[in-house]
Amino acid sequence: MESNLFDLSGKTALITGGSRGIGLAVAKGLARHGANITLVARTEKQLEQAQRQIQEETNKHTWTFPFDLAQTDQIEDLFENIIKETKGINILVNCAGITRRAPAEDINLNDWGQVIDVNLTAVFAISQAFCRHRKHIGAGGKPATLMAGKIINIGSLMCHAARPTNTAYASSKGGILMLTKSLAVE
């Protein structure tokens, strides 16, 4: 089904967690509207499959970057490599996420930390890199505002609700809600 709701021709979108699930669906949707696609996910084989699907279905150029977002101290380097390869990112979709289920009194701090790192800290770190990139590009030689780029953060019903054994995930997604609001006002 062809849609003319919007045209993303000439734009490049970066989707974390883009090799499957919601991230892959978002990537395909953006590609169908004309965007070239950059995928970041942990598993190279799944990235290659997603790349093939997107290119076959949309004929849009798709780059892949295997990377574990739990390595938050290396996200700036990842983003610089992405920019070198793609020549620029216009749209950032933070979709990657993990969970570790356990009752709150039993979850170990390593599991807690992994969930917070991937679901919240990585989103902040890659959003920072994206914002710096968009400002650096500028518009007509002048510093660009963030209006020149778009950040889309994928939350969860867990932004507003809680379930047993999901404390780390709910906390990270609640953090995404407030991070998104904070980035929007800045």
* Gap between the Cα atoms of 166 and 175, Å rounded: 14
Provide the pLDDT for residue 114. Answer: 98
CATH of the domain at 117: 3.40.50.720
Whether 4 maps to a domain, the answer reads no
The 10s digit of each residue's pLDDT in 115-157 is 999 999 999 999 999 999 998 886 555 554 544 799 999 999 8
Whether 136 maps to a domain, the answer reads yes
Whether 6 maps to a domain, the answer reads no
Whether 17 maps to a domain, the answer reads yes
For residues 166 and 56, is the Cβ–Cβ distance under 8 A? no
Q: Which of 169, 172, 173, 180 is catalytic?
A: 169
> Where in the sequence is the domain holding 36, given as residue range(s)?
12-185
Whether 180 maps to a domain, the answer reads yes
Whether 7 maps to a domain, the answer reads no
**Catalytic: 169?**
yes
Whether 2 maps to a domain, the answer reads no
The 10s digit of each residue's pLDDT in 53-65 is 999 999 999 999 9
Pick from 66, 59, 68, 52: which is nearest to 31 by CA? 59
Say what the pTM is.
Answer: 0.93
Question: What is the residue whose two structure tokens read 């590009």?
Answer: 137
Domain count, the chain: 1
Alpha helix segments (H runs only) across 40-160: 44-58, 75-86, 109-116, 122-137
Whether 1 maps to a domain, the answer reads no
